[in-house]
Amino acid sequence: MAWNEPGNNGSPDKDPWGNRGGRDQGPPDLDEVFSKLSRKLGGLFGGRGPSLGGGGAVGLGVIAVLAAVVWGISGFYTIGEAERGVVLRLGQFDRIVQPGLNWKPTFIDEVKTVNVQSIRSLRSSGLMLTKDENVVRVEMDVQYRIANPEKYLYAVTNADDSLRQATDSALRAVIGDASMDQILTTGRQEVRERTFEEINRIIDRYDMGVLVVDVNFQSARPPEQVKDAFDDAIAAREDEERFIREAEAYANDVLPKAQGHAERIKKEAQAYFEQAVNKAEGEVAQFEKLLPEYNAAPEVTRQRLYLQTMEKVFGSTSKIMVDAKSTGNLMYLPLDKLMSQSSAPAVSPVQQSESSRYGIELEQRAPVTTEQNTRSSSSRQGRY
């Protein structure tokens, strides 16, 4: 049975939407639904049920206020201490925001944060051709940070990739201008410095907004096929450097000693020279003083010189043989015992009397003949 036919629960004047009178009506009007919604929102804010037109205006105003509040709150954002904010207004660069709490109009401004204090790192490596047409594998690490956030983001398409390409280009240029030996041994520092300068020159030209802090030359090695031969050459060069250092250390140790020894010999020679000259001058002065005395009394001076000479000669001997011409006896004086007794400690009177009795011994010899006496006298005279 249709909905508008009689027999609908005994009420032919009622439709499913609650309309009475049996009129043929459609679904409720949208204006009526919106009016009811407006009245409910007005009741929430303490107002009375408005008319149909006034309720729609109030609802729109409330929705607009809520949307404005949400829009305003969503615009607050915070920039970290190590960061800087790059503000784009409608897609175009507007300004750089400093750290702290900031606000932007949502859907109008866009903020991109960039860390300007952290040190970033990238590595460049590869097989490169040297000046002497050798192939070497080089690895280098570049440390950098962002100096200008605007240029870092918008001066080039990708600043990190551009810096990597600039590093590779600078490194190949420097390696191509150096020999294999320089790269592997003594020229590593020079290669690092030249690469650092070349990278800075490239990034200054492109104005990428990055600042290179340091360049580290990680390693440089020949290809694996010739690695053993290069290792032997490097070891030989290191041994050469070590031997040179050891020789220099030995020379630094020996040369001061030799110079000191030579200086000591010079001083001793100078002292001996001065001593000999002074001694000769003293002898000359003594001879000049003795000459007038000798001219005045030659015999007396000769005898005195003879006695002085004998005193010097026999002063260092321990025994003296004296010939007694009158009796033909030979008297023996034990001067060594007399000298030891003079240096010995004091003794008792009995020991002193015995030593005085036996201190001088006279050894009796057989009488010698005239010929022997003459021979001995002549020999002694020839000796003295």
Q: pLDDT (tens digit, 9 = 90+) per residue, 139-152?
A: 889 999 999 999 99
Cα 212 from Cα 49, distance rounded (Å):
71
Q: Provide the pLDDT confidence category of residue 332 given band limits of 50, 70 and 90.
A: low
- Amino acid identity of residue 380, one-letter, is R
Mean pLDDT of 150-156: 89
Pair 65, 122: CB distance under 8 Å: no
Is 60 exceeded by the pLDDT of residue 21? no
More confident of the two residues 29 and 70: 70
Q: 384 pLDDT exceeds 70? A: no
pLDDT at 369: 44
Task: Identify the CA nearest to 118 among candidates 164, 166, 167, 160.
Answer: 160
Each residue of 289-312: pLDDT tens digit? 888 887 888 888 888 888 888 888
What type of residue is 364?
Q
Over pLDDT 70: what percentage of the chain? 67
- Residues 6 or more apart from 85 whose CB is under 8 A from it? 77, 79, 96, 97, 98, 102, 111, 112, 113, 114
Q: Which residues pair with 85 in a beta bridge?
A: 97, 113
pLDDT digit string (tens) for 46-64?
544 444 455 556 778 788 8
How far CA 287 is from CA of 168, 283, 305, 311, in Å, comes to 97, 6, 12, 19
Is a pLDDT exceeding 50 seen at residue 375? no
**pLDDT at residue 71, as a whole number:** 87
Q: Is the pLDDT of residue 85 over 70?
A: yes
| Average pLDDT along the chain | 76
Q: Which residues does 190 contact at the CB level (< 8 Å), separation at least 6?
A: 178, 182
- pLDDT class for 5, splitting at 50, 70, 90? very low
Whether the per-residue pLDDT at 361 is higher than 60: the answer is: no
pLDDT at 31: 62
Structure tokens at 74: 């969503």
Residue with tokens 């030209």: 205
- Percentage of the chain exceeding pLDDT 90: 23
The reported pLDDT for the residue numbered 30 is: 55
Confidence of residue 29 (pLDDT cuts 50, 70, 90): low
Average pLDDT over residues 319-337: 59
Q: Has residue 370 got a pLDDT over 70?
A: no
Query: Residues 164-192: what's their mean pLDDT?
Result: 87
pLDDT of residue 271: 93
Would the CA dihedral through 57, 62, 68, 71 be positive or negative?
negative
Q: Please give the Cα distance from 250 to 264 (Å, whole number).
A: 21
